Amino acid sequence: MNDYNSSIARGRTMDASVDAGLRTFMLGVYTKLTIGIAIAGVLAFAAGTFEPLTALIFGTPLYYVVAFGPIAIIFGSMFFMKNPSPVGSAILYWALVGLIGLGMGVYFMMAKTGMTTTTAGGISQALNYGTIAKAFFITASAFAALSLWGYTTKKDLSAIGSFAIMALWALVAVSIVYMILPALNILEASSGMEWMISGGFALLSAVLVAWQTQELKEGYYQFAGNERGMAVMTNWGALNFFIMFVNMFRFVLMLLASRE
């Protein structure tokens, strides 16, 4: 009987240790994500409101680095980071945070100047600082709820996650084609197509937030005790979350700012 009680006590201690370790790991991912969002926000504000920086980024060829650099880095990492190191994955994360943050400076530039932009499909957008703040808090609330659900649900999300990833890549291909064809006067741009693409990215990103949270939990149990693996997984988790957050934020902002 004593042996049985001792076994139960040891099991409870191990469970508590694993749970505490998992919470610490997830907290590390969320902390890195939060810092990344904060840095991106500061860079976006500076790029959109500090005139010398605005002119440098949006008035020189550097704009193309900011605009297309994140896509190039993401695709490049798929081929050149087959076995990423903690340092390499961290550099990748912070580089994307910096470039995406600078690119989002256009929103603050619009808010500062009061300018209205019109997309190729005819969607007019007008922004102010209040709209940006509202979009951020809506996105943050939705992200937190989705991640919490992914963390607590007992439902296996692997199937829906795999589908969402395939659908996301298909949508990337569609968006690239859509950017090229209207420029070549082969296809007429439409607001409906722009809403579909933006909404699709936001919806799939929302699904992937829950799935990625569950994947990180499972990854923790797989790599527990492997410091290198845990460090890389923390960076990748924060990176994936950051991209999903940005996709959701952009759609919410587009929705709030649209004057179609």
Per-residue pLDDT tens over the stretch 168-204: 989 988 888 887 877 677 777 778 888 888 888 999 9
On whether the CB atoms of residues 238 and 93 are closer than 8 A, the answer is: yes
Residue 10 half-sphere exposure toward CB, CA atoms < 13 A: 6
Give the model's pLDDT for residue 7.
36
Q: What is the DSSP string of 28-82?
A: HHHHHHHHHHHHHHHHHHHHHHSHHHHHHHHSSTHHHHHHHHHHHHHHHHHHH-S
pLDDT in tens, 200-233: 899 999 999 999 999 999 989 888 777 888 999 9
- pLDDT of 260 higher than 60: no
To 10 degrees, the CA torsion angle through 23, 25, 30, 36? 160
Identity of residue 146: L
Give the model's pLDDT for residue 52.
94
